[in-house]
């Protein structure tokens, strides 16, 4: 019975965070006229702290250390993706 309670709580939190993240993404990608990788970065920099704060708060684990680690991990990952995207989108000189 206790396992079901935790699973239901986790699913509830995941659903709320998904909706919030999608809303932030929709706003960023709809109203920004920047290149794709810049919109991706702006979306991640906005949503990473927001959903991390909500996630940790709902689990009663919100503290500076946990928040910092989660946000830094998400931002590091998105920075790598943005660099790869920029590199792939850049034209190669001399390509036939």
SS (H, E, C) 64-90: HHHHHHHHHHHHHHHHHHHHHHHHHHC
Q: Alpha-carbon distance 26 to 73, whole Å?
A: 22
pLDDT of residue 64 exceeding 90? yes
Q: Alpha-carbon distance 45 to 41, whole Å?
A: 6
Q: Write out pLDDT tens, residues 30-61.
A: 998 888 878 888 888 888 898 899 889 988 89
Task: Evaluate if pTM is beyond 0.75.
Answer: no
**Cβ atoms within 10 Å of 84's Cβ, excluding its own:** 11
Contact assessment for residue 45 and residue 79, using Cβ atoms and an 8 Å cutoff: no
Per-residue confidence band for 65, with pLDDT thresholds at 50, 70 and 90: very high
Q: What is the mean pLDDT of the chain?
A: 85
């Amino acid at each position: 019975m206790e396992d079901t309670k935790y699973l239901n709580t986790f699913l509830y939190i995941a659903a709320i965070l998904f909706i919030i993240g999608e809303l932030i993404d929709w706003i960023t990608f709809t109203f920004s006229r920047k290149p794709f990788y810049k919109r991706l970065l702006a979306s991640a920099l906005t949503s990473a702290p927001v959903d991390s704060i909500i996630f940790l708060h709902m689990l009663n684990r919100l503290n500076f250390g946990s928040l910092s680690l989660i946000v830094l991990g998400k931002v590091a990952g998105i920075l790598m993706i943005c660099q790869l995207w920029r590199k792939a989108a850049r034209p190669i000189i001399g390509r036939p």
